[in-house]
Amino acid sequence: MLESFLNTLAGMGVEWRLLCMQAVNFGIVAAILYYFLFRPVLKMMDARRKKIEDGLAYAEAMQKKLAEAEAREAEVLNAARKTAQEIVEKARAAATAYEESQAKETAARVEQMLAKAKEAIEMERRRQFEELKGEVSRLVVLTTGKLLSRELSAEERKSLNTRAAEELARSN
Amino acid sequence: MKQSKAQRSRTLALAGKLAVASLENGVPTLERVGAVLKFISSRPHREKLPLLVAYERLMRRREFLRTLSIERAGAVDSASRDALVAALSGTAKVPLLVSEKENPDLVAGLRVRLGDDVYDASLAGMLARLGGAAR
């Protein structure tokens, strides 16, 4: 059977010995290429692929971390915003309270000043009234004295003097 | 020479007794005052001057207390005036030294001073009191 196959090959113009030799040569070349070219290239490609996979995994992890960091940052920012809002509200409330207290204090002061001013005006008015009263009294007394000294006759004077002497004598 | 406190009080007490001894019915007489002055001049030299000064001061004070000064504006009925002098003399319990003075500022009425006391029964005084009360 082998012989018939070889004969068929020979009939097709294929020399089996040459074919065997070429096959051996091909095997040798293939082995050499496999050991010295394909294997290092494959190794290098594996390493490159691994590196790329690692890089991708790292990028993915980083992206995840970034997302986490962003989420955390947003959370922190929200908390900070909330705190800031609370502080602002507290400050606003304190400012309102302070403003109200200041307004009340100012109103009280103004009222006090008004009361004092009214009191001072009243005192001044009374003082002027008293002064005027005193002056009027003085003028009335002076005028009455002058009028009496001019109008009284000697007889009237004597009568008054006598009455005064009698009164003084009675009172002693 | 300056007297001590005790000496001063002794001098004052003696001057008081001498002032009383100078009076007869509340009025100093020439004889009594002369006798007192003689007594003072007989005292030791260091007592003489302080005693004389204290005695003079007391006598002046007594004279002042029995001096009646009457100020008036216009004439006064003499009977009323005498009644007033008598009444005041009774109050002072001594005969008074009376001095009279015309004062037109009183308008009418009298102002009488006996020692430290002043009795004002003048129109000017009344008006002044009225003015004071109105103020």
What are the pLDDT digits (tens) for B62-75?
999 889 999 998 88
Mean per-residue pLDDT of chain B: 89
What pLDDT, on a 0 to 100 scale, did the predictor assign at position B1? 57
Chain B partners of A171 at a C-beta cutoff of 8 Å? 119
Query: Does B108 contact A168 at a Cβ distance shorter than 8 Å?
Result: no
What pLDDT, on a 0 to 100 scale, did the predictor assign at position A52? 96
SS3 B87: helix
What pLDDT, on a 0 to 100 scale, did the predictor assign at position A137? 83
Residue with tokens 């004077």: A157
Give the N- to C-terminal CA distance of chain B in Å, as an integer: 55
Percent of chain B with pLDDT over 90: 46
B90 touches chain A (CB under 8 A): yes
Cβ partners under 8 Å of residue B11, min gap 6: B3, B47, B50, B51, B54
What does the CA dihedral B16, B21, B25, B30 come to, rounded to 10 degrees?
-110
Reported confidence tier of residue B135, pLDDT bands at 50, 70, 90: low
**Nearest CA-CA partner of B121 in A172, A151, A135, A154:** A172
Residues linked to residue B28 through DSSP beta bridges, in sequence order: B23
Instruction: Inform me whether the pLDDT recorded for B111 exceeds 70.
Output: yes
Chain A partners of B128 at a C-beta cutoff of 8 Å? 141
Quick one: CA dihedral B31, B33, B34, B36, positive or negative? positive
Query: Does A164 contact B81 at a Cβ distance shorter than 8 Å?
Result: no
Q: What are phi and psi of A76, to 5 degrees?
A: -60, -40
Cβ partners under 8 Å of residue B86, min gap 6: A169
SS3 A14: coil
On whether the CB atoms of residues B130 and A141 are closer than 8 A, the answer is yes
What pLDDT, on a 0 to 100 scale, did the predictor assign at position B39? 93
On whether the CB atoms of residues A125 and B85 are closer than 8 A, the answer is no
Residue with tokens 């109008």: A151
The domain containing residue A103 runs over which residues? 2-171
Instruction: Give the pTM.
Output: 0.53
Q: How many domains does chain A have?
A: 1
**Nearest CA-CA partner of B67 in B26, B102, B19, B115:** B115
CA-nearest residue of chain A to B133? A137
Q: What is the DSSP letter of B94?
A: S
Query: Does B121 contact A133 at a Cβ distance shorter than 8 Å?
Result: no
On whether the CB atoms of residues A159 and B78 are closer than 8 A, the answer is no
Query: Does A161 contact B72 at a Cβ distance shorter than 8 Å?
Result: yes
Instruction: Inform me whether the pLDDT recorded for B2 exceeds 80.
Output: no
Question: Does B132 or B125 have the greater pLDDT score?
Answer: B125
What does the CA dihedral A20, A23, A24, A28 come to, rounded to 10 degrees?
170
Integer Cα distance of A136 and A142 in angstroms? 10
Chain A partners of B88 at a C-beta cutoff of 8 Å? 168-169, 172
No. of H helices and E strands in chain B?
A: 5, 6
Query: Does A169 contact B80 at a Cβ distance shorter than 8 Å?
Result: yes
**Nearest CA-CA partner of B34 in B22, B50, B52, B45:** B22
**Complex prediction ipTM:** 0.73
pLDDT by 10-residue block (mean), chain A, 172 residues: 82 85 94 93 94 95 94 94 96 95 95 96 94 85 81 85 86 76
Mean local confidence (pLDDT), B85-114: 88
